Amino acid sequence: MMAAGAALALALWLLMPPVGVGGAGPPPIQDGEFTFLLPAGRKQCFYQSAPANASLETEYQVIGGAGLDVDFTLESPQGVLLVSESRKADGVHTVEPTEAGDYKLCFDNSFSTISEKLVFFELIFDSLQDDEEVEGWAEAVEPEEMLDVKMEDIKESIETMRTRLERSIQMLTLLRAFEARDRNLQEGNLERVNFWSAVNVAVLLLVAMLQVCTLKRFFQDKRPVPT
């Protein structure tokens, strides 16, 4: 029995992940984008965790609502006000280097009492830790012999391609936000044009009916008919 128990304990110990390997450390910070509806007279805040000694770029744009403007503030994890903008349609801000903690992004529509706003914003991280990991990987796999194509050249080409692809994605996202804002503006103008066109048509029909009735009254014979 003791031998069986020892064998079972050994098997369980072998199946357990080593300490500090499985699930160790916080999950990697990823870029993200979000679109939300900000009601009139309301303020909405978001919190985003950031690692230390990295770069955080935030872009926002009001793509719907009267005026296409909103108040924006950005605070550091220590509560320091980094950015404060009033009645802006869009903005791009970069924090470098970042502090470890939660950054606070707030969008304020308190100045508007009627119109709600459709807001799009995007967060882009550029962590220095990723560069260190790439350096370590390159050193680990770099061959000892000299090759026609050096590992450094391959790594530089891949890094340049990755940077350009990320920039392309960011530009496409920004252009999509511009397109959404222009589409909302055109749809709003179309609704106003249709409404006032319907009002004008109704007024014209009413005036035409009044004119016809007035002309009929002018040509009616009001003399009594002889018996």
Please enumerate, as own/partner, the contacts of 177-185 that have beta carbons within 8 Å and a separation of 24 or more: 177/61, 177/63, 177/120, 178/61, 178/63, 180/63, 180/64, 180/118, 180/120, 181/61, 181/62, 181/63, 181/64, 181/68, 184/63, 184/64, 184/118, 185/68
Helices (H), the chain: 2-15, 128-141, 151-219
Distance, CA of 58 to CA of 71 (rounded, Å): 15
Q: What is the mean predicted confidence (pLDDT) over 94-113?
A: 90
pLDDT score at 22: 39
Please enumerate, as own/partner, the contacts of 11-20 that have beta carbons within 8 Å and a separation of 24 or more: none
For the chain, how far is it from start to end, CA to CA, in angstroms? 134
- At 171-208, the pLDDT tens digits run 777 777 777 777 777 777 888 888 888 889 889 998 88
Which residues does residue 35 pair with via DSSP β-bridges, in sequence order?
120
Distance, CA of 114 to CA of 110 (rounded, Å): 10
What pTM did the predictor assign?
A: 0.53
- At 10-45, the pLDDT tens digits run 444 444 444 433 334 444 566 778 889 999 999 999
- The ranges assigned to domains in the chain are 32-139
Confidence of residue 72 (pLDDT cuts 50, 70, 90): very high
Domain 32-139, CATH homologous superfamily name and number = GOLD domain (2.60.120.680)
Distance, CA of 81 to CA of 72 (rounded, Å): 11
Q: pLDDT at residue 221 above 80?
A: no
pLDDT score at 68: 84
pLDDT score at 30: 65
DSSP 147: -
